A and B are shown apart, each in its own frame.
Chain A
Amino acid sequence: MSFISLLWVLLLGSLLGLELIGKVPPTLHTPLMSGANAISGITMLAALTLIVKAEGNVPLLIIGSVSLGFALFNVVGGFFVTDRMLAMFSRKPSNKK
Chain B
Amino acid sequence: MNLPVIIKFVIDLLAVLLLALGIKGLSKVKSARDANRLAAFAMSLSVIGLLSYYLGTSGIAIQSWIWIIIGSIIGSLFGAILAKKVPMTSMPETVALFNGCGGMSSLLVALGVAIFPISSGQENFDFFKSLINEVSISVSIFVGAITFTGSIVAMAKLQGWLSTPVWTQSKVRHFVNIVFAVASLIAFFDLINGNTSSIWLLVIVSSLLGIGVTLPIGGADMPVVISLLNSYSGIAAAAAGFVVDSQLLIVAGAMVGAAGLILTQVMCKGMNRSLVSVLFGGSLSAQSTTSSGSGEYTNITSCSVEECALTLEAANKVIIVPGYGLAVAQAQHTLREVTKKLELNGIEVVYAIHPVAGRMPGHMNVLLAEADVPYEQLKEMDVVNPDFPATDVVLVLGANDVVNPQAKNDSSSPLYGMPVLDVQEARTVFVIKRGMSAGYSGIKNDLFDLPNTSMVFGDAKKVLNDLIGELKDLGVGEK
Contacts and interface: CB of A to CB of B under 8 A. Distances in A.
Interface residues of A, number: 88
Interface string A1-37: 1010010011111111110111111111111111111
Given A40-B237, A43-B249, A69-B74, A64 B67 contact: yes
B434 interface: no
Most chain-A Cβ atoms within 10 A of its Cβ — which of B43, B91, B247, B251? Answer: B43
Contacts of A24: 26-27, 263, 266
A83 B63 contact: no
Q: What's the dominant secondary structure at chain A's contact region? A: helix
B253 A87 contact: no
Interface in A46-71: 46-57, 59-71
Given A18-B258, A29-B361, A86 B250 contact: no
B19 A39 contact: yes
Contacts of A89: 29, 32-33, 365, 369, 375
B86 interface: yes
B228 to A, nearest CB: 11
Contact of A48 (B51, B119, B245, B261): B51
Contact of B102 (A14, A37, A88): A37
B286 interface: no
A36 B256 contact: yes
B185 interface: no
Interface stretch (B108-116, B155-163, B164-172, B465-473): B108-116
A52 B66 CA distance: 11
Contact of B78 (A26, A65, A73): A73
A36 B61 CA distance: 33
Contact of A61 (B19, B20, B67, B244): B67
Interface string B119-157: 110000100000010000000000000000000000000
B132 A3 contact: yes
A97 to B, nearest CB: 10
Contact of B50 (A40, A45, A57, A93): A45
Contacts of B372: 91-92, 95
A67 B39 contact: no
Given A6-B250, A39-B19, A45 B46 contact: yes
B58 interface: yes
A90 B33 contact: yes
Contact of B256 (A40, A63, A91): A40
A31 B362 contact: yes
Contact of B362 (A27, A48, A63, A73): A27
B366 A72 contact: no
Contact of B112 (A12, A67, A79, A80): A67
A73 B20 contact: no
B125 A53 contact: yes
B56 to A, nearest CB: 12
B311 to A, nearest CB: 27
B184 to A, nearest CB: 21
A89 B260 CA distance: 22
Contacts of A38: 39-40, 43, 98
Contacts of B51: 48
B258 A14 contact: yes
26 contacts: A9-B247, A15-B258, A16-B255, A18-B258, A18-B259, A24-B263, A24-B266, A29-B360, A30-B366, A35-B35, A37-B99, A40-B234, A45-B249, A46-B241, A46-B244, A47-B109, A48-B68, A52-B54, A64-B67, A66-B71, A67-B112, A69-B71, A74-B79, A75-B79, A79-B40, A84-B84
Given A26-B270, A26-B361, A72-B75, 5 more contacts: A14-B255, A30-B362, A38-B98, A46-B105, A79-B36
Interface of B: 19-20, 22-24, 26-29, 32-33, 35-37, 39-40, 43, 46-47, 50-51, 54, 58, 60-61, 63-64, 67-68, 70-72, 74-76, 78-80, 82-84, 86, 88, 91-92, 94-95, 98-99, 101-102, 104-106, 108-109, 111-113, 115-116, 118-120, 125, 132, 226-227, 230, 233-234, 236-238, 240-263, 266-267, 270, 353, 355, 360-363, 365-366, 369-370, 372-376, 378, 380
